[in-house]
Amino acid sequence: MDIDTETIPKKAVIYGRVSDHSQITEGDGLASQETRCREFAKNRGMSVARVFVDDISGKHADRPGMRDLLIFLHEVPDRTHAVVIDDLSRLARDIEAYRALRRAILEAGGVLMSPSVRFGEDSDSTLIENLLASVAQHQRQKNGEQTKNRMWGRAKNGYWVFQPVPGYHFEKVSGHNKLLVRTEPVASVVTEALEGFASGRFETQSEVKDFLDHNPLFPKGKPGFIHFSRVRDLLTHPLYAGYVDIPNWGIHMQQGRHEALIDYATFQRIQDRLEGRAKAPKRADIREDFPLRGFVSCDACGEPYTAAWSKGAVRHHPYYLCDTKGCPDYRKSIRRDVIEGQFVEILATIKPAPGMVVLAKAMFRDMWDQLHGVQTASVGVLKAELRKLETASERLMDRILEAEAPLVASYEKRLAAMEKDKVAIREKIAGTTKPAAKFDKVYRTAFDFLENPQKLWASSQFEHRRAVLRMAFDTHLRYVRNQGYRTPETTLPFKVLAGLNGQKKKMVRSRRLELPPVLPDSDLNAARLPIPPRPHYLGYEPRPAARVRD
């Protein structure tokens, strides 16, 4: 039944709504709504003054477009505008939200009208409105349940179902539908950041943030820099290790179908470092201008040097200085070129002889081969441990099904921990059974650094220089003003190489120096002992056992 023409306002505003922005860019929902509403207004002799739209879920009452519509209704002088909607569900898909918006429109002087439903104040109209609002809410909730169930099923099968994280994008792949794939070059930048934090190249989250801030290939967002929360998300997301983890849905470390950017062992090292070290705030005084700041200490008081640019008559000059009150050297500056030049001389002194690096490489190669044999033998032990965990998790699942509500959360937490342990063991088994990487590929960078630490320092990249400080020295360097550095405490690899190079020793020849004792004939066979083989990296060839004449 149509409304009496005498009660129809002469002017109208149109309100349209879709659930999300993609329906505006990819669909025609708003345009079709507006067309129906304009035709409805035209047939009733109403002129359309304004059109208001929203791209937001119908369960929310607070919407930008609706706020603008209510403000418009309050500001018009006659306050006799009709508010035309295509369907009741376009106004709201929640009973409470629908009632609130309907009341707000009436209080603002608007009259609700629609080509799909008749609005009125009588009991029959109110009943129909409430029924339609309930149906709209039910449809929204049912759609949400179905969508979540489909998403849960895909996630359980190893597919990521939310917005892609930096380094990935969705792509339609045959047999997978939408699958996460690498986004280059961002994926390589993310890998470098994650592996750098795991290895200690980046000591704190602040250094990871600096690396990403200064890398032009990594997206920054509107502020132009990376926020700490985004760095934390980057370091803790199992997706980068190839796993889908959604605890709220009961999905724990499910093997993903996408390509991982790092292996699980690297991910675990990152989590261990995060748990053992709180998030360090970004220090404003750590800058590329002064790579030794905070690492070189004043010998007089033991506190780390700070640094600053001092303004001269013509230009600024860089200085290191002690800023500890009460210290004899308080605020006495040292030129940057002096303290950093002497540091380069120290790097030259810890550089081992070339022969020592060759020797160390040969020793590590033998250890590499032996370790590979041990790892292969440990596969059986790992598989047995995995079977025990699987049995324990099955029993825990049975307990969860029978447990009362207060115990379920505790059991689920233990089950999640077991799932992570199982993932770690599977990764170890997979890593052990894979063909071993080539020794030269794995250790090339490490031996290049040991052979010449000055080369990495000379690269002038801030993170490389900070890595030299951490990898070459065990403690802070002590600096005596007007004299120079005290003897540095180097890390273990440099100590070992220095020890091998500094001690003047010669290998004892294969036969003993003293004359062999005269043995009775009965003991001659016992004397035929095999000579243990000498490692090839010492420059010796195997020597046949001495023959004893009968």
One domain, residues 80 and 139:
yes
Domain for residue 156, yes or no?
no
One domain, residues 21 and 115:
yes
Task: Return the half-sphere exposure (C-beta side, CA atoms, 13 A cut-off) of residue 45.
Answer: 8
Domain for residue 136, yes or no?
yes
Q: Which one of 424, 445, 466 terminates a domain?
A: 445
What CATH number did the domain enclosing 194 receive?
3.90.1750.20
Domain for residue 540, yes or no?
no
One domain, residues 326 and 459:
yes
Quick one: pLDDT at residue 503? Answer: 47
One domain, residues 68 and 129:
yes
Domain for residue 63, yes or no?
yes
CA dist 292 and 288 (Å) reads: 9
SS3 helix, strand, coil % of the chain, rounded to 5?
50, 15, 35
Quick one: pLDDT at residue 235? Answer: 92
Quick one: pLDDT at residue 526? Answer: 46
One domain, residues 118 and 50:
yes
CA dist 83 and 71 (Å) reads: 13
> Amino acid letter at 405?
A
Domain count, the chain: 4
Both tokens assigned to 520: 């009775």
185: cis peptide before it, omega within 30°?
yes
Quick one: pLDDT at residue 52? Answer: 92
Q: Which one of 403, 425, 445 terminates a domain?
A: 445
User: pLDDT for 151-205, tens place per residue?
Assistant: 888 888 889 988 888 999 998 888 888 899 998 889 999 998 998 888 877 878 8
Range of the domain at 317: 296-351+452-502
Domain for residue 249, yes or no?
yes
Quick one: pLDDT at residue 380? Answer: 72
One domain, residues 457 and 433:
no
- Report CA 50 to chain centroid distance, whole Å: 47
One domain, residues 122 and 11:
yes
Domain for residue 50, yes or no?
yes
One domain, residues 268 and 314:
no
The residues, ordered by sequence, that sit 6+ positions from 104 with a Cβ below 8 Å of its Cβ are 70
Q: Which of 498, 496, 509 lies closest to 538 in space, CA to CA?
A: 509
Answer for the pair 497, 356: CB distance below 8 angstroms, yes or no: yes
Domain for residue 545, yes or no?
no
Domain for residue 530, yes or no?
no
CA angle 345/349/350 to nearest 5° reads 120
> Amino acid letter at 239?
L
One domain, residues 494 and 411:
no
One domain, residues 270 and 304:
no
What CATH number did the domain enclosing 23 receive?
3.40.50.1390
Quick one: pLDDT at residue 361? Answer: 66
One domain, residues 272 and 312:
no
Answer for the pair 224, 213: CB distance below 8 angstroms, yes or no: no
CA dist 234 and 240 (Å) reads: 8
CA dist 164 and 153 (Å) reads: 18
> Amino acid letter at 30?
L
Answer for the pair 105, 65: CB distance below 8 angstroms, yes or no: no
User: pLDDT for 335-362, tens place per residue?
Assistant: 988 998 888 888 888 777 666 666 666 6
The tens place of each residue's pLDDT in the chain, 550 residues long, gives 344 445 678 889 999 888 776 665 555 678 888 888 999 988 888 888 889 998 888 787 888 888 998 899 888 877 778 899 888 888 888 888 888 888 888 888 888 888 888 887 777 777 877 788 888 778 777 777 777 788 888 888 889 988 888 999 998 888 888 899 998 889 999 998 998 888 877 878 888 888 888 888 888 877 777 888 888 899 999 999 989 888 888 888 888 889 999 888 888 889 888 887 544 444 444 567 888 888 899 999 989 888 888 877 778 889 999 989 889 999 888 998 899 888 888 888 877 766 666 666 666 666 656 656 555 666 777 778 888 888 887 787 777 777 776 677 777 777 777 777 777 777 777 766 555 556 555 556 566 666 677 777 877 677 777 777 877 787 788 999 888 898 888 777 777 766 655 544 444 444 444 445 554 554 444 444 444 444 444 444 445 545 545 4
Q: Which of 231, 234, 245, 235 lies closest to 198 in space, CA to CA?
A: 235
Q: Return the biggest CA–CA distance within the chain.
A: 137
One domain, residues 200 and 225:
yes
CB count in 10 Å sphere of residue 276: 7
CA dist 344 and 131 (Å) reads: 81
pTM: 0.48
- Report CA 460 to chain centroid distance, whole Å: 27
Q: Which one of 418, 445, 472 terminates a domain?
A: 445
